[in-house]
Structure 1
Amino acid sequence: MMVLNPRIYLAAAALALVTPAAVAQSPAIVPGTQVVDTAGNPVGTIYSVKGDQLVVETDKLKVALPANSFTPSEGKLLFALTRDQLNQQTEAALAEANAKLVAGANVYGQSGALAGTIDAIDAEFVTLKLTSGKLVRLPRNGIAASDKGAVLGVSASELERLATTGG
């Protein structure tokens, strides 16, 4: 299953039906809560709740969406898109983001500091050339696309420290 980075928002996320506080305060919003479209058809289930983000698991993927994209109704959550629409839009957003992950793309740490550039990338691994010149090989899922380039799950300084100490 793919998990879409919560930084990538779908057009559907802008379809705010209630405030995030209303969803977050609802005691029924727990993993396993059913998500349905406006016609009552299944979209998926809540996989996890992370602050104001709800991770929805469909038949194909997991995607984090803002809580204000949902409306509680009769123990379920209403969502503006069908399961197929959510899958299609998520896959398109993921493909667009991944297309930016190419050799030469800038790589930033969690705090936004430049860590280096992508030296090589394939389906399993990415090799980063850090700003210090060191080469680091990471699992491909260790980076995610952003508007600026690639983003790491750690800070640039932490990655440099790990590269120097060997982990």
Structure 2
Amino acid sequence: MKKSAYQLLLLAGASFGLAACAPVHYHYCDLNCWHKPKPVPVKPVAPPPPAKIIAPVEHFVLQSKPVTIRGVNFTTNSSKLMTADIAVLDSAARFALKHPTAILLVKGYCSKTGSYKYNLGLSQERAASVAHYLMGRGVPNYRIITRGYSWEDPVASNATREGRFLNQRVVIDTSIKVRKSVP
């Protein structure tokens, strides 16, 4: 094969094309030139191992379960916790610490004595008093929401002293996630 060398001078701003030729060699073959390959022995494949028997799988979902804690009452015109309330609040704090995803809605209420506006402020103070106690027992403040509802949603008649006492309360609502088996 003959080797050749060429020089090419290109001018700036112009388009160029380049073509090169080389000799082509053809190979002629009739149908007899193709050989059949020799057969290759194939080793048999081992059968797969038997499938393992697996026990049926139980599926679970998390479901919200509402929880209400009652039993915290106050004297008239007061947001100070009473000694009898401490056991209920300690129980609520243990519950909250056992369920770290639970958010506590602390709702304060009053009896229908005095103006709505005054009782709204007092009910908010009652909810804050309970929230402060729960935080002192280790419940993080970001998990506690306080609301005051004045004399709305009474649980007893305001005509009697006992009824008013039952309405002067704090209720803690929350919901927890529980596992429920699904078929």
Q: Which structure is higher in strand share?
A: 1
Where relative contact order (Cα < 8 A, 6+ residues apart) is larger, the structure is: 2
Return the TM-score normalized by structure 1: 0.21
TM-score normalised by structure 2 residue count: 0.20
Rg: which structure is higher? 2
